[in-house]
Amino acid sequence: MAQEIERKFLVNGDFKSHVTKETRITQGYLSSIPERTVRARIKGEKGFLTIKGIGSESGASRFEWEREIPVQEAGELLKICEPGVIDKTRFIVPEKSGLKFEVDEFYGENEGLTVAEIELPSEEHPFDKPEWLGEEVTGDVRYYNSMLMKNPYKNW
């Protein structure tokens, strides 16, 4: 079983001059309960099905299983997802040690929200924090995509 370890931050500066790749993402949830979220996603021209378990006490790590599926099947699954599909662009920004930030700029009901995540080999792993990185929100469930579909950023 795979373990995902990541930290999440608000973005409050210009990161776009450092972007090496960007991809549009549409995703929905077949199950959004914290113990097991099940997500269908179209990322660019590919489809994915992802299952995530409940997070650790810090919120930085949790079980994650993901498989690529035909994009047409991902589209069909999106039609039966819970209300509140997430629409965003993901920007890749390299970090100095070889890791990368995934910066998500949201649209629709979550317009105005931009968050950055960095996947780490361990919860204690050091990394460079660029000046555009804002407040850490790791473990704050309001920023989970599965919660943003239920309580969008515009309602805060």
Active site residue 153: no
| Catalytic residue selected from 29, 107, 143, 153 | 29
- SS3 annotation, the chain: CCEEEEEEEEECCCCHHHCCEEEEEEEEEEEEECCEEEEEEEECCEEEEEEEECCCCCCCEEEEEEEEECHHHHHHHHHCCCCCCEEEEEEEEECCCCCEEEEEEECHHHCCCEEEEEECCCCCCCCCCCCCEEEECCCCHHHCHHHHCCCCHHHC
**Catalytic site positions:** 29
